[in-house]
Structure 1
């Protein structure tokens, strides 16, 4: 975790296979399910849908009720593109279950055969749409078939088929899968159709959506999209197993940055409760200085460890000196820093006097891909935080902060704090200090109190010296410590209309 979290911070110094077939909708034979009443007439129903004329400011793609709104919305935006200009926020959280959860049955084979035989030759508007948006020619028929999956007459046919089979498990899963695959493709299209999106909240794991966003980010589509996108929030997976709120999320943060980091208006990418994604591989070495931004100001930085367990029972090990180097890159703009990491700070130097080597770079050459090389071609500067020059002694701490000229608020654990603070400081909170427990910390606090009035004339509020403020604790038994588990605040993500 330390590598990609800290390299993500360091990247801020300069920046801050589409699968188009409804995979898992099994392939076919016959028996046990009545023929859909529309199966022989689907190509005949070409009546245009009426415009909804609804001006949404927020679109959500989450459950089946959301899915049903997407097809008519796409038609609205094709016929009257100006309607799409009101959308400022887009929420995508729809996990696509893996193929292994689905089995071929006689019933689903019949449905799959009917779906494969469906005529889409008259879907001219959808064909023109995917052509204009830059979907490759060989993929367009699959996209059109999937995007037309939720036409009203097809939805009615699905309901009839479900009723005729008493909503059998196999048939229900087939349609659920088809609805979700449709939603992923529809979400990708809508992201390109809405030119004024400023806020995007997105769940990792959609090959379809991520492929479109990545191609847009690297300028590989016919037109540039999401040029006003400012804030991105990476959402926890909605998978019923992987999304267990007792545990940290295994998320490839730097890999997800590839979807947005070159966009011209991007300001922030946020995520909570993250753990190392062991499949990230070379993505840990993300070439910095590869966005369209030339400069970024980081004014506030909060990093807290604890509050959830890890799915494999492991724990994070963090090197405070690496965090210190990353923060030092923003020493002129940082106003507030809140670090609650003492539970995971490497302690070997405290015990053995050992200074950690700064080289964490490892070997990446055999693990690069097309997107890595596109960034590497324009990257400047060191690729790893640890390769930044050491401008001060660090030891097992974040190092001196005397030259953080804008810093007014600091909250930090006693282990990570070296002692040299800036004169601009107005608020100080120290976690984990208990007098008489560690002599070195007592000496450090006594020195601070001796010089406080003269050296820190602006410092009006100090906490954690006369009272012990606990550090964030690890959760080792999530079933027995439910009260300690961190949970995200409720997210306001309902569909919203322009007032």
Structure 2
């Protein structure tokens, strides 16, 4: 029998270099002494280069050193799988070249840098500026002193380093990023930009990472970078000392999505604590996005706002939306409309696998208290909301959860669950003040592909009609839903998420992002 270890060393090294996940690489190194000897020199390099962070000023020099190492030995760029950029700009102003105290490079390294800048599609005067950014000393003046150009210099440098690191990392798979642009009124409108009195022409002078992402997302053909990026975590915060971590953040979510949604391997986006930004992009082209998995947690978004995001997906496989953990500045909340939401996801009835919605506290169509009632669900398309480029036939779609033929996991509030189970026809009742659950048999209204059901917010004994539905479901589920192996939230209530009403008095309800500790030996 042939043994892989009998292959020539050169062939074995070629095979080994094709192994991307570090866990698999380590597993291979432990299979035999010969494989250990072949891999032992490469493992420390994989550990060193697998993740790069550009956030604090102390990260700039490390990022520059890593970039230079990759330029000298391009194979090292193959080991980079994750980049974190967290340096959102606080405005726009054209970059001003400064040549004082630049980092010194020999002629060979300077030529390598020039080639990298060219390969990243930066050209002419802009390319010279990017080179100057990368070579800037990292002892910047106090960020609120000097000219506007001086104040923005750290943002330019951080983006130049990040853009070049992205461009030399062909197997980059994941990113964590704050917004690379400064969002202002008219950012998404060229004519409005031209009218602004901020020294801008119609063609806005974009930051390097912003420019790289826009151009590559528009046309990735022939570019060796961002071809394997599949997941992006979006950090929703601004470059502002006034940012208050008690409240949701006005954020241009669609603008951020439009940096990544057409990349060839793109699958997933995730974010937290967002509320709609009135200056943000307000629509996305239907069925244009390669994103198939969406996570939006601890946020406060109208269902009308979620609509274009769902409609933009060519094939939606997973959507997770939860509220809570923050307060809104004006004390309001964005209502969740189950009818609008169902019509949107019905466009993905053959692909949706995972549904996680915890927004009952913002769904005012159903009352959770004893002797509560449930109102007819309003028709969002008749509301006073911005017009969307909706896919043809959106508002004529009909169906219920039963129609989702790929759905295996559902985590959902009891109220929204019942609305989605009743379906569009049940919510479009002839009685304008009432949606009836009286005839609902829950086990008949769920897909037989379902494997896991987690019900949020159900408390036995509070609503008799809910109790009746759940009791019958527990009797029916084994016979009618043979694939259902897990049901939670029946005997013990799972608390619903809720928007914090008084953050000073309810600080224990506030959500905080956990800062991830980076270890040189973590995979």
For the residues of structure 2 that align with 1:272 and 1:348, how far apart are their CA atoms? 26
* 3-state SS of 1:200 partner: strand
8 A Cα contact 1:215 1:221, kept in partner: no
Question: Which residue number in structure 2 is paired with residue 203 of structure 1?
Answer: 178
Question: Which residue number in structure 2 is paired with residue 417 of structure 1?
Answer: 417
The question of 1:483 aligning with 2:508 is answered yes
Matches within 5 A, 1:29-428: 56-98=49-91, 115=99, 125-150=112-137, 170=145, 178-206=153-181, 207-208=206-207, 209-219=209-219, 223-237=223-237, 239=239, 241=241, 243-280=243-280, 283-291=281-289, 299-347=317-365, 353=376, 355-358=378-381, 383=390, 387-392=394-399, 400-418=400-418, 419=442, 420-428=445-453
8 A Cα contact 1:325 1:385, kept in partner: no
For the residues of structure 2 that align with 1:78 and 1:410, how far apart are their CA atoms? 47
8 A Cα contact 1:401 1:422, kept in partner: yes
For the residues of structure 2 that align with 1:465 and 1:384, how far apart are their CA atoms? 38
How far the C-alpha of 1:87 sits from its partner, in A, is 1.0
Q: Would the alpha carbon gap of residues 478 and 361 (structure 1) be closer, same or farther in structure 2, given more than 3 Å must change?
A: closer
Q: Would the alpha carbon gap of residues 138 and 404 (structure 1) be closer, same or farther in structure 2, given more than 3 Å must change?
A: same
TM-score of the pair, normalised by structure 1: 0.67
How far the C-alpha of 1:66 sits from its partner, in A, is 0.9
8 A Cα contact 1:230 1:267, kept in partner: yes
For CA contacts below 8 A with separation 6 or more, give which structure has more relative contact order: 1
Q: Would the alpha carbon gap of residues 127 and 353 (structure 1) be closer, same or farther in structure 2, given more than 3 Å must change?
A: closer
* 3-state SS of 1:337 partner: strand
Unaligned segments of structure 2, at least 5 residues: 1-44, 182-205, 293-312, 368-372, 419-441
How far the C-alpha of 1:340 sits from its partner, in A, is 1.1
8 A Cα contact 1:93 1:238, kept in partner: no
Q: Would the alpha carbon gap of residues 176 and 59 (structure 1) be closer, same or farther in structure 2, given more than 3 Å must change?
A: farther
How far the C-alpha of 1:406 sits from its partner, in A, is 4.0
8 A Cα contact 2:343 2:394, kept in partner: no
How far the C-alpha of 1:60 sits from its partner, in A, is 0.9
Q: Would the alpha carbon gap of residues 93 and 454 (structure 1) be closer, same or farther in structure 2, given more than 3 Å must change?
A: same
8 A Cα contact 2:362 2:498, kept in partner: no
TM-score of the pair, normalised by structure 2: 0.64
8 A Cα contact 1:307 1:473, kept in partner: yes
8 A Cα contact 2:366 2:375, kept in partner: yes
How far the C-alpha of 1:194 sits from its partner, in A, is 1.4
8 A Cα contact 2:366 2:415, kept in partner: no
For the residues of structure 2 that align with 1:386 and 1:213, how far apart are their CA atoms? 32
For the residues of structure 1 that align with 2:516 and 2:153, how far apart are their CA atoms? 27
8 A Cα contact 1:199 1:230, kept in partner: yes
For the residues of structure 2 that align with 1:487 and 1:330, how far apart are their CA atoms? 33
Q: Would the alpha carbon gap of residues 212 and 453 (structure 1) be closer, same or farther in structure 2, given more than 3 Å must change?
A: closer
Q: Would the alpha carbon gap of residues 406 and 353 (structure 1) be closer, same or farther in structure 2, given more than 3 Å must change?
A: closer
For the residues of structure 1 that align with 2:397 and 2:143, how far apart are their CA atoms? 65
For the residues of structure 2 that align with 1:457 and 1:145, how far apart are their CA atoms? 64
Q: Would the alpha carbon gap of residues 284 and 99 (structure 1) be closer, same or farther in structure 2, given more than 3 Å must change?
A: closer
Matches within 5 A, 1:451-466: 451-452=476-477, 454-459=479-484, 461-466=486-491
For the residues of structure 2 that align with 1:114 and 1:214, how far apart are their CA atoms? 27
How far the C-alpha of 1:251 sits from its partner, in A, is 2.4
For the residues of structure 2 that align with 1:118 and 1:466, how far apart are their CA atoms? 66
Q: Would the alpha carbon gap of residues 173 and 70 (structure 1) be closer, same or farther in structure 2, given more than 3 Å must change?
A: farther
Q: Count residues in correspondence.
A: 398
How far the C-alpha of 1:490 sits from its partner, in A, is 3.6
Deviations 1:334-364 (A, max 9, x none): 4443321111114289665464154579666
The question of 1:433 aligning with 2:440 is answered no
Unaligned segments of structure 1, at least 5 residues: 1-52, 101-111, 366-381, 393-399
For the residues of structure 2 that align with 1:181 and 1:124, how far apart are their CA atoms? 21
How far the C-alpha of 1:187 sits from its partner, in A, is 1.1
How far the C-alpha of 1:433 sits from its partner, in A, is 3.3
Deviations 1:162-194 (A, max 9, x none): 8xxxx9984899977534431221111211121
Q: Would the alpha carbon gap of residues 434 and 194 (structure 1) be closer, same or farther in structure 2, given more than 3 Å must change?
A: closer
* 3-state SS of 2:502 partner: coil
For the residues of structure 1 that align with 2:99 and 2:157, how far apart are their CA atoms? 13
